Amino acid sequence: MSDIKEILITDIEEFDSVDVVNILVSVGDEIDVDQALITIESEKAMMDFPSPYAGIIKKINVIEGGKVKEGDSLVSLELIGETNTHTAAKKISVARPNTEDSERQKIDTGKKDPNKKQASEKAYVIPDSNDAYASPGVHKYARELGVDIQTVPGSGRAQRVKTEDVQTYVRTQLGAKQISNATQVKPLDFSAYGETEAVAQTKIQKVTAKNMTTAWQTIPHVTHFDQADVTLLEEHRKQLSVELKEKNIKLTPLVFIIKALCATLKKFPNFNASLDIATEQIIYKKYIDIGIAVDTPHGLMVPVLRSVDKKSITQLAIELLALSDLARQRKLSPKQMGGGSMTISSLGILGGQAFTPIINPPEVAILGISKMFKQESVSNRNTKEKKILPLALSYDHRVINGAEAARFCTYLKEVLEDIWKVIL
Ligand code: CAO
């Protein structure tokens, strides 16, 4: 006799009920352990609920647009194979920050009601944060067009995919197909030359590849290079580092660069903007959130530091470390990505003299940082050693012109060179 199991929703007890945004399976589907059954949305986050068992869907017990509460049955499942609830349970149980990380986990709670802090922390890690975040209508629209919504870069808040994003994606893909039909080089059978190994790309690598291609093919990029004298900044950072080291806080030059960029964005709002092609409008952001490109073993990720203008150097140092740790552990939630003013890509520790960073759409500019170098300068017969920081600003030439970019960089340099402008 077949073993039918009711799959109940768990770990949402903090909410009276949550909305069923999308049903991702149909009766008769054979599903794997951990396969997403439904997408639910609370006031805190949107997340997929995975099946703890493999089996065949016999009945769906919820409706799209309906509500579910803790313990409701989602589907009736005829079990197949070995049953193992471990992974799924781990996935849906949205992690509570451990005490050791409590300082770091305070990030991103600045704009919220302190009474609701616990709830927001509970929604801190969303199961597979790479899943697309979109309304049921947009999911349906993408399905009708045969578009895999996971690959569509979202321009909405927390990278939510909007109808226009699906449309832009389709247009870009059609254009790219025409180009690639004409130019794509067929992969060679390299095994004819020697030993080879084929390794599947990670999901993040695939999404990054698509985003980069879209950015490169749709945005007219220009890169402006400059160099800032950061001798004073470095002296100050070293002094402050000694104090902060005792508190286990690491202070890198990047934290000062983030603050300097923040001051520059305030002065040049055109760089804190996004172009809405559909409505032919430029959207100016009145907040300053800065994305940081983080190199992780799974691929490139861009967490966003929120409200940088309201935070101290020390707070930013703590948050930068916390967010880059979360990125490396693949624990970033959609709320911690997207919506940024501008992104910084720092290859400072890795070396190189300069590079041309690719804009992170829908932003209109990105700042690349290369490794600092020493330069001797002679004044009044005295030789002094300066520390020089190479800067590379890539900008969207549809929104920003070359003169503005030059002024932006000049101001950024001035701020970096006058340390007090950074700190105050
Ligand atoms: N020049 C010289 N040294 C630098 C520097 C610079 N521009 N920037 C940082 N450093 C030094 C710091 O002083 C620190 O040295 P100590 O350990 O001796 O104190 C060390 O490098 C720290 O580097 P870090 O990389 O750990 O920290 P960070 O704050 O500079 O950067 C992060 C954090 C997350 C941006 C970085 O780790 C990272 O992932 N960078 C890669 C980004 C990337 O891949 N960009 C490409 C995107 S496009 O493919």
Q: Which helix (H) or strand (E) holds 212?
A: helix 203-218
pLDDT over threshold 80, residue 80? yes
Rg of the Cα atoms in the chain = 24
As a whole number of angstroms, the distance between CA 111 and CA 309 comes to 13
As a whole number of angstroms, the distance between CA 46 and CA 66 comes to 15
As a whole number of angstroms, the distance between CA 108 and CA 331 comes to 14
DSSP letter string, 315-357: HHHHHHHHHHHHHHTT---GGGBS--SEEEEE-TTT--S---P
Q: What type of residue is 65?
A: G
For the stretch 379-393, pLDDT in tens is: 877 888 999 999 999
pLDDT over threshold 90, residue 57? yes
pLDDT over threshold 60, residue 313? yes
Alpha helix (H) ranges present in 228-310?
231-246, 253-267
How confident is the model over 7-25, as a mean pLDDT? Answer: 82
pLDDT score of 306: 97
pLDDT over threshold 50, residue 87? no
pLDDT score of 177: 63
pTM, 2 dp:
0.66
Q: Look at phi and psi of residue 23 and say left if phi exceeds 0, alpha if psi is from -120 to 50, else beta.
A: beta
pLDDT over threshold 80, residue 130? no
User: What separation in Å is there between the alpha carbon of 21 and the centre of ligand 1?
Assistant: 40
Q: Quick check: CB of 302 below 6 Å from ligand 1? A: no
Q: What type of residue is 141?
A: Y
How confident is the model over 112-116, as a mean pLDDT? Answer: 37
pLDDT over threshold 70, residue 101? no
Which residue from 205, 252, 350, 360 has its CB within 8 A of the most atoms of ligand 1, so it is best to mutate? 252
Range in 31-40, 257-266, 369-378 the model is least confident about: 31-40
Q: Quick check: CB of 332 below 6 Å from ligand 1? A: no
Q: Quick check: CB of 214 below 6 Å from ligand 1? A: no
pLDDT score of 151: 80
pLDDT over threshold 50, residue 31? yes
Q: Which residue is listed with tokens 């590379």? A: 392
pLDDT score of 311: 96
pLDDT over threshold 50, residue 11? yes
For the stretch 162-194, pLDDT in tens is: 888 888 888 877 766 665 555 566 778 888 999
Position with higher pLDDT, 237 vs 138: 237
How confident is the model over 395-401, as a mean pLDDT? Answer: 97
pLDDT band (50, 70, 90) for residue 405: very high
As a whole number of angstroms, the distance between CA 368 and CA 253 comes to 13
As a whole number of angstroms, the distance between CA 46 and CA 18 comes to 10
In the set 221, 224, 298, 397, the catalytic residue is 397
Quick count: other Cβ atoms within 10 Å of Cβ 218? 17
pLDDT score of 180: 58
pLDDT score of 171: 80
pLDDT band (50, 70, 90) for residue 16: confident
Dihedral of the alpha carbons of 404, 406, 408, 414, in degrees to the nearest 10: -150
pLDDT band (50, 70, 90) for residue 126: very low
Angle between helices 253-267 and 402-417 (to 10 degrees): 130
Q: Which residues of 111-136 are buried (b: 16+ CB within 10 A; e: fewer)?
A: eeeeeeeebbbbbbbbbebbbbbbbb
pLDDT over threshold 90, residue 160? no
Q: What type of residue is 260?
A: A
For the stretch 200-224, pLDDT in tens is: 988 788 888 988 999 999 999 999 9
Highest mean pLDDT range out of 2-11, 93-102, 220-229?
A: 220-229
pLDDT band (50, 70, 90) for residue 70: confident
Shortest-distance Cα residue to atom 16 of ligand 1: 252
Give the single-character DSSP code of 174: H
pLDDT band (50, 70, 90) for residue 317: very high
Q: What percent of the chain has pLDDT over 90?
A: 51
Shortest-distance Cα residue to atom 12 of ligand 1: 252
pLDDT over threshold 80, residue 73? yes
pLDDT score of 17: 84
As a whole number of angstroms, the distance between CA 80 and CA 31 comes to 9
pLDDT score of 14: 63
Tokens of 111: 């704009």
For the stretch 349-373, pLDDT in tens is: 898 999 999 999 999 999 999 999 9
Position with higher pLDDT, 165 vs 110: 165
Give the chain's mean pLDDT. Answer: 83
Is 86 known to be catalytic?
Answer: no
As a whole number of angstroms, the distance between CA 55 and CA 50 comes to 13
Q: Which of 238, 252, 235 is nearest to 292 (CA)?
A: 252
